[in-house]
Amino acid sequence: MDAGPEGPRTCDDCPVRRDVSARIELELRGEVELIFSVAVAGPRAREELSAVLDGAPAALEELQDAHGTRLHRLRTGPGRFELAYSAAVDGRAAAPQPEPDGGVDAIRYLRPSRYCESDSLAPTALAEFAGLRGRPLLDAVSSWVGTHLSYVPGSSQPTDGAVRTLLDRRGVCRDYAHLCTALLRALDVPARVVSVYAPGLRPMDFHAVCEAFVDGRWCVVDATALAPRTSMLRIATGRDAADTAFLTVLHGQAELLGLEVLAVADELPADDAAEVVVLG
C-alpha cells in the first residue's frame, strides 16, 4: 500500500463538482429533542438547510462537534416534520487538520466502544494479522473484512456491533466500518468511524467508512469498495455509529417516514485499493 512519490491523495484533490442532498421525513409524537448529522463537515459557502413542522418553519440550533462535525438540534412538539439539506462542493474544500499521534484522539480511538469491541476481537486480530504494521496492515484488514463479510442490505440490526457482524458474516457499510475499526484498535492502531456522502454508491444512502491513524495521517479504509474514496465528503467523525448516526432521538418519539440521500459528481475518479486516501 504505497502512497507513491507524490504522497497520499486527499478527497479534496477531487477536481470535479460534487452535489449532495438529504431529505428526512418524521412523525413526531409528544415533546421531542432530536440531533441531526447531515451537514458536510466544516464551513461550506454553498449549502441550504430547511426544517418544516406541519407546514411552518421550525428552528434548528447548530452545534459544533469534534473534527468539524456539525450537528443540528431540534426541540419541538408533535407533528409531521421534514428536514432538507443540500450542498455543492467544487474541487478543494477545507484542508485536513493535523492531529498529533499519541494525543487525546489517539487514546479515544484506541479504546473499545459500544459498536467496536476491540477487546473481544483482540485474539482474532492477533491471529490473523500478526507481524503486520503500518499501511500493509490497513490493506490486509480491509481485504480480510471485505472477503469475510457479504454486503446484504437490511441484514443487520441498529444495535449490532463488530462481534455480531463477524459472527453473522454479513452486514452493511456501518458493520464493515465497525469491524475494520475494532480489528485495528485491537492491534494498537487508532481507528474511528466516519459518515460520508459517497458519489457512486449503489444503492444510494449515507455511507460509513473507517479511518486509521498511520504514518502521521488518518487514512480511509473502506472494505465495501462500493464508492471511490477520493470523491467522498465527510459528515461526522467519532468512535462508532453512536457518534455518527444521521439521526439521534434524545427525548420523545420519532417515526421515520421517509429518507432520501443523493450524492453525485461530474466525474467519478478511479479508486486504487492500494492507494492511500485522506478525507478532507
Query: Alpha carbon 163 to chain centroid distance?
Result: 19
Q: For residue range 186-202, list pLDDT tens digits in order.
A: 999 999 999 999 999 99
Q: What pLDDT band is residue 8 in, cutting at 50, 70 and 90?
A: low
% pLDDT > 70, the chain: 90
Count Cβ atoms within 10 A of the Cβ of residue 10 and give its class: 0-12 exposed, 13-18 middle, 19 or more buried: buried
- pLDDT beyond 70 at 95: no
Please tell me the distance from the alpha carbon of residue 254 to that of residue 177, in angstroms, as a whole number. Answer: 26
Mean of pLDDT values over 116-130: 97
- Beta bridge partners, 213, equal 218
Q: Where are the domains of the chain?
A: 9-14+100-241+273-278, 17-88
User: Mean pLDDT, the chain, as a whole number?
Assistant: 91
pLDDT over 90 at 180, yes or no:
yes
pLDDT band at 3 (very low <50, low <70, confident <90, very high): very low
> Which of the residue ranges 124-128, 157-161, 274-278 would you say has the lowest mean pLDDT?
274-278
Candidates 186, 148, 188, 184; CA nearest to 169 is 148
* Class of the CATH-defined domain 17-88: mainly beta
The closest alpha carbon to 19, from 122, 94, 88, 103, belongs to 88
Lowest mean pLDDT, pick from 83-92, 121-130, 162-171, 197-206? 83-92
* Segment 15-41 mean pLDDT: 94
DSSP state of 114: S
Class of domain 9-14+100-241+273-278: alpha beta
* Distance between CA atoms of residues 71 and 204, nearest Å: 22
pLDDT recorded at residue 5: 38
**pLDDT of 222 strictly over 90:** yes
Average pLDDT over residues 131-149: 96
Burial group, residue 209, by CB count within 10 angstroms (0-12, 13-18, 19+): buried
Q: How far from each other are the two terminal CA atoms of the chain, in whole angstroms?
A: 20
> Which pLDDT score is estimated for 275?
86
Those residues with Cβ within 8 angstroms of residue 154's Cβ, 6 or more apart along the chain or in another chain: 172
Q: Which of 208, 221, 227, 211 is nearest to 139 (CA)?
A: 221
Per-residue pLDDT band for 273 (boundaries 50, 70, 90) equals confident
pLDDT digits (tens, 9 = 90+) for 37-85: 999 998 766 899 999 999 999 999 999 999 999 999 999 999 999 999 9
Query: pLDDT value at position 4?
Result: 40
Residue 24 one-letter amino acid: I
Please give the pLDDT value at position 103. Answer: 77
Question: Helix (H, G, I), strand (E, B), or coil: what is residue 251?
Answer: strand
Q: What's the pLDDT score for residue 1?
A: 37
Higher pLDDT, 171 or 1: 171
HEC string of 167-191? HHCEECHHHHHHHHHHHHHHCCCCE
Amino acid at 229: R
Q: Of the candidates 228, 236, 115, 129, which has an alpha carbon nearest to the alpha carbon of residue 177?
A: 115
Please compute the mean of the pLDDT values over residues 214-221 and round it to a whole number: 91
